[in-house]
Structure 1
Amino acid sequence: MSTESITIDQEFTETIHSFLDDADTVLVVNPAPEVFQIIIQTATQFDDDLPGFQVLATPDVLKTGAEDFILASQVADLIDRGTLELRTTTDIARNSLLVSDDEVITVVTLEDKLTGLRSTDDDLVENVRSTFEDEWNDSETFTLRTPPLSRIQETLGEEFGDAIEGDFMMIVESAETIPEEGGDLDEVALALLVAANNEVLLYDISKWGEDIGLASKATFSRTKTQLEDRGLIETEKVPIDVGRPRLRLLLASDELEDVDSLPDQMTA
């Protein structure tokens, strides 16, 4: 048997990258939340062709991951590309496992650091893979409602131009996490804030958000009111030929002067 001990802290990303680079298929079993996050981030930044990979996790881990908009939208991107599948089971091994066709990494936590045992023993790899492929076949598909980040970025540019797309992506790339809908400042608030920075109509940004599956128009309207109450945005009426005037979104100059201060507001 070929087995070596590795320390997975700063080196964990490199380990995952190497693992994905060498594998044709990857099965991730029972990842802890931090392991799941690092795997998704590494896969998202992967320059070469990704292997097809499957994640078999407890419902709580995947639900927790879906609560962070940035992570959830990256997961949605990988699913949309046909690279990633997510399934849930409650009957699962205790340790996180990464299984390829010819290698197994068992991830454990020792002294607050991620550490693993790496094995290329043919019999062990085959046994582990066969066992968890059976569990995979008996598991349930996890449905993610968040739209892919690439679709959000692309449609923002198409609908509103490069400026609002750039503002939105600047926040996403600057913030470590953005809570999903219902959080203090979530992805709907982010869309409204960058729309206000570019003086976009509430009707237009909320229609865009509903069309791509980010949130309903009612959620955009409710969040707009909350941001007004916090003194972060203002609105002005814009007359139209028929019907009620529409509302143009504006940043509230006393509290939020420009888009560069949005990352601090998003994580405050």
Structure 2
Amino acid sequence: MPSETNVLGDGLDTVVDAALGSDADVVYVTGPTPALLESLVGLATDADGVPELRVLTARETLKTVTDEFLLASNAADLVEAGVLELRVTEERTENALLVTEESVTAVVTLGDAAAGLVTTDAGFVRTANDACQSAFEAGERFTLRTPAISAIRSSLEADLGTEVRADFDAVLDSVQEAPPADATLDEVTISLLVAAKNEVLLYDVSKWGEDVGIASKATFSRTKSELEEAGVIATEKVPIDVGRPRLRLKLDDERLQAASANTLADVARDILD
């Protein structure tokens, strides 16, 4: 980051991108807001080579952010890659800080605008790094329960096929691009919609979902019943050699049947609303 150069931008991405683009090996992120964490994970996911990100903040902030599937699964990928580590602290900071060996940036937001107020004073930076390192080492590790998105995608392709994987990716992309105020379909609903588009058995998609760690078979079954009652999906009994017939999922509404994977979520949301 340029010496003593403040960063101004239309949003947090500009400020975060300056920190990720520095030559630092480690960036401490203390007291981030949920919006700052979302920006951090999003940019780190898309970037080629970023510093090690050590995040220290309140448990409530981490839980709020990681309750959102796409954000949590991308964060899990970064954790598995050794890029991101999340820890909990009870200490409160007045401003979110991005701290490297070369600089300290205080992140200030006003509406949609954001600024990074930077200092490279050697003594202050050294003190800030020592304080961050001590607080981080004392912090409790925060474990993500959401599986990494790369594991979800690879297991989906292995268990249910390349077409299902491609449709799943397309639906996730469309959900990610939806306006922030728009209600996001949860991961179980998305999985069932994609499975129904490809006429996958409920048993197969729910077993995959439970094995990979998205949700239990019971949750898949309950969500299937809710979507069936809403006229989103339908089921067809498929006889098997031994035991009860299994259920093949299908899209029930004509609008869904005509929709591409890119518009499937939007159409389903309109029906459910």
Once the two structures are overlaid, the 10-residue window that deviates more, 105-114 or 139-148, is: 105-114
Partners of 2:32 and 2:57 within 8 A in 1: yes
Task: Give distance in 2, aligned partners of 1:135 and 1:124.
Answer: 16
Task: Give distance in 2, aligned partners of 1:266 and 1:99.
Answer: 43
Partners of 1:164 and 1:198 within 8 A in 2: yes
Describe how 1:119-198 pairs up with structure 2 within 5 A. 119-176=119-176, 185-198=185-198
- Tell me, what secondary structure is at the counterpart of 1:227? helix
How far has the Cα of 1:136 moved from its partner? Answer: 1.1
TM-score (norm 1): 0.91
Deviations 1:188-217 (A, max 9, x none): 010010000000000000000111111100
Describe how 1:77-156 pairs up with structure 2 within 5 A. 77-110=77-110, 112-156=112-156
Structure-2 residue corresponding to 1:222: 222
How far has the Cα of 1:177 moved from its partner? Answer: 7.8
How far has the Cα of 1:103 moved from its partner? Answer: 1.4
Partners of 1:186 and 1:266 within 8 A in 2: no
Task: Give distance in 2, aligned partners of 1:4 and 1:157.
Answer: 46
* Structure 2 residues without counterparts, runs of 5 or longer: none
How far has the Cα of 1:240 moved from its partner? Answer: 0.2
Q: State the number of aligned residues.
A: 261
Task: Give distance in 2, aligned partners of 1:44 and 1:55.
Answer: 15
Structure-1 residue corresponding to 2:231: 231
Structure-1 residue corresponding to 2:28: 27
Structure-2 residue corresponding to 1:55: 55
- Tell me, what secondary structure is at the counterpart of 1:145? coil
- Tell me, what secondary structure is at the counterpart of 2:253? coil
Partners of 2:174 and 2:263 within 8 A in 1: no
Partners of 1:56 and 1:87 within 8 A in 2: yes
Letter in 2 for 1:76: A
Letter in 2 for 1:24: D
- Tell me, what secondary structure is at the counterpart of 1:134? helix
- Tell me, what secondary structure is at the counterpart of 2:6? strand
* Cα pair distance change 1:111/1:221, threshold 3 Å: closer
Task: Give distance in 2, aligned partners of 1:155 and 1:145.
Answer: 17
- Tell me, what secondary structure is at the counterpart of 2:188? helix
Task: Give distance in 2, aligned partners of 1:100 and 1:20.
Answer: 10
Letter in 2 for 1:261: T
Task: Give distance in 1, aligned partners of 2:92 and 2:190.
Answer: 37
Task: Give distance in 2, aligned partners of 1:65 and 1:177.
Answer: 17
Once the two structures are overlaid, the 10-residue window that deviates more, 122-131 or 16-25, is: 16-25
Task: Give distance in 2, aligned partners of 1:17 and 1:157.
Answer: 33
* Cα pair distance change 1:190/1:5, threshold 3 Å: same
Task: Give distance in 1, aligned partners of 2:220 and 2:159.
Answer: 17
TM-score (norm 2): 0.89
Could you list the runs of 4 or more consecutive aligned residues of structure 1 that deviate by over 4 angstroms after TM superposition? 265-268
Task: Give distance in 2, aligned partners of 1:40 and 1:62.
Answer: 12
Task: Give distance in 2, aligned partners of 1:108 and 1:92.
Answer: 16
Structure-2 residue corresponding to 1:261: 263
* Cα pair distance change 1:194/1:111, threshold 3 Å: closer
- Tell me, what secondary structure is at the counterpart of 1:144? coil
* Cα pair distance change 1:240/1:82, threshold 3 Å: same
* Structure 1 residues without counterparts, runs of 5 or longer: none
Structure-1 residue corresponding to 2:199: 199
Letter in 2 for 1:264: D
Partners of 1:3 and 1:119 within 8 A in 2: yes
Structure-2 residue corresponding to 1:4: 5
- Tell me, what secondary structure is at the counterpart of 1:85? strand
How far has the Cα of 1:157 moved from its partner? Answer: 1.1
Partners of 1:235 and 1:248 within 8 A in 2: yes
Once the two structures are overlaid, the 10-residue window that deviates more, 193-202 or 21-30, is: 21-30
How far has the Cα of 1:14 moved from its partner? Answer: 4.3
Deviations 1:150-181 (A, max 9, x none): 11111111112221111111111121389xxx
Once the two structures are overlaid, the 10-residue window that deviates more, 159-168 or 17-26, is: 17-26
